[in-house]
Chains A and B, each alone.
Chain A
Amino acid sequence: MAQQDDLVSKVLVLDSDPKCLERIRAFCDANQLVGLKVQPDNVMAVLRSNVDLGGILLSENFDGRPHGGVQMATLMHAIRAELPIFLRREVRASLDDLAPSERKAICAAYTMDTMDTLRQPIADYIFSLSYPNALVRGISDITCAALSSQFKDLQVQIAPPYIVRDRLIYGEIFTLIPIESTWCRGYMMLQTEEIELLELVKADRTHISPDQGLDFRNLNGVLGEITNLVWGAFKNRYMGDSARISHMSQVPIVINHLHRYISFGSDNPQLCFRYTLNDSAQGDKLVMYQKFVFNLNWTPEDFSEDLTSVEDLVESGELDLF
């Protein structure tokens, strides 16, 4: 199992100048970046796929066209606005001469002479959260242990951990579970491809039988249980007393895009409302479903309503000055 103390991030390197590329490569090596080179014609296709990027290093004359890089930046920003773009310029490390719509797409400019100044924007935009090494190593240990327990006779390999800014989902099945403690709050996701998981189930490498794999809900369950194991171990190892003091149970939410399916881990019925918004002038309409799933606690005998007196009620939208 590979261990890596320093987190890295993949950056797309879009630069046609061979001399600059050498220095960019050295800069990436020194700053925990893994550069990915892409042919100009493939850039958009790569950005639409899931490559787990942290950012883009782009030259202003990319693809041999003066100002071509800036035009490319606005196109890329339109489809992947969350990815920071760092622009290499020929003359000045400034964005002042660009139009506002072009400036919006780029977070920092540099020249080969001022490359060192790129460290701060990289730190601000990509490595803005500091993850303790012990946490990163611990997560790897916990998860490898969970995977080993849920899959039979398989070797678990782990790539060096990395940072992304993109918000794409990998595969068709994913689980989501809140992580809450006094020092951190957020979510953990596990994402995978249904077909690959199904193949392992059919090969009897999991704890469900091959014919159980014919029902995709059982596949969801495999991923759900791994999520549960990792969450439990994470809680025990890193949340300490805060977890014991306020024991709030959690179950993974499982989403399967292929089957347009979502599970909250219980068979409880869902309370649903359907809203239709009609534009009688244009004939357009919007249908929206609202669903309540009380999968973690449902005690209707304790139901109460906060009936504030009329005098105390401040109407929404009104300013209540203290």
Chain B
Amino acid sequence: MAQILVVDDSSTVRNEVGEFLKSNGLDVAYAVDGRDGLAKLKADPAVKLVVCDVNMPNMDGLTMAEKVRSELNNSAVNIIMLTTENSPAMKERGKAAGVKGWIVKPFKGEAVLASFKKMVGV
């Protein structure tokens, strides 16, 4: 069972974020888009943190976040967006969907590791 789910259509980003988190003792699973992310969360509701891109094919990250809350009824999992998007309107939509935080790419692991560990309870 994974503690963190990394959702991004870019294998480069999944690899970068996932390997950093794993090298810091965290269990990581992956999804390639919002639809895949939703399915993985449904299959593994014990995931504590989702790190998710916004612009993805099939289902974008904000829609996924909305569906995690509405369709999966999962209000416990922390969702952090990791994206190139920085618009206030998009962040507002994220907040309304229960997203807990926003990181503008590129990913800097050391800057967020402590917060991530806290969110998964280690």
Asked if A271 is at the interface (CB within 8 A of a chain B CB), the reply is: no
Our pick among B91, B105, B106, B115 for the contact of A319 (Cβ within 8 Å) is B115
Which residue of A has the minimal Cβ distance to B81? A320
Residue-wise, chain B 57-76 has the 8 Å CB interface mask toward A (1 for contact) of 00000000000000000000
Asked if B111 is at the interface (CB within 8 A of a chain A CB), the reply is: yes
Interface size on A, residues (CB 8 A): 8
Contact (Cβ within 8 A) B103 A322: no
* Chain A residues within an 8 Å CB radius of B91: 320, 322
Contact (Cβ within 8 A) A316 B100: no
Asked if A99 is at the interface (CB within 8 A of a chain B CB), the reply is: no
Asked if A318 is at the interface (CB within 8 A of a chain B CB), the reply is: yes
Interface hits, A5-57 → B, CB 8 Å: none
Q: Tell me how far the C-beta of A126 lies from the nearest C-beta in chain B, rounded to whole angstroms.
A: 16
Interface hits, A265-322 → B, CB 8 Å: 314, 316-322
Asked if B80 is at the interface (CB within 8 A of a chain A CB), the reply is: yes
Contact (Cβ within 8 A) A322 B100: yes
Contact (Cβ within 8 A) A319 B95: no
Which residue of B has the minimal Cβ distance to A321? B101
Residue picked from A314, A316, A319, A322, most chain B C-beta under 10 Å? A319
Our pick among B86, B104, B107, B115 for the contact of A321 (Cβ within 8 Å) is B115
Complexed CA–CA distance, A321 and B104 (Å): 12
Contact (Cβ within 8 A) A314 B104: yes
Asked if B112 is at the interface (CB within 8 A of a chain A CB), the reply is: yes
Complexed CA–CA distance, A320 and B91 (Å): 10
Asked if B99 is at the interface (CB within 8 A of a chain A CB), the reply is: yes
Contact (Cβ within 8 A) B115 A320: no
* Chain B residues within an 8 Å CB radius of A314: 86, 102, 104
Asked if B22 is at the interface (CB within 8 A of a chain A CB), the reply is: no
Contact (Cβ within 8 A) A317 B111: yes
Which residue of A has the minimal Cβ distance to B109? A317
Using a CB–CB distance below 8 Å, which chain A residues touch chain B? 314, 316-322
Can you pick out 10 interface pairs between chain A and chain B where the beta carbons lie within 8 Å of each other?
Answer: A314-B102, A317-B103, A317-B106, A317-B112, A318-B111, A318-B112, A320-B103, A320-B104, A321-B101, A321-B115
Q: 3 nearest interchain CB pairs?
A: A317-B108, A316-B104, A321-B101
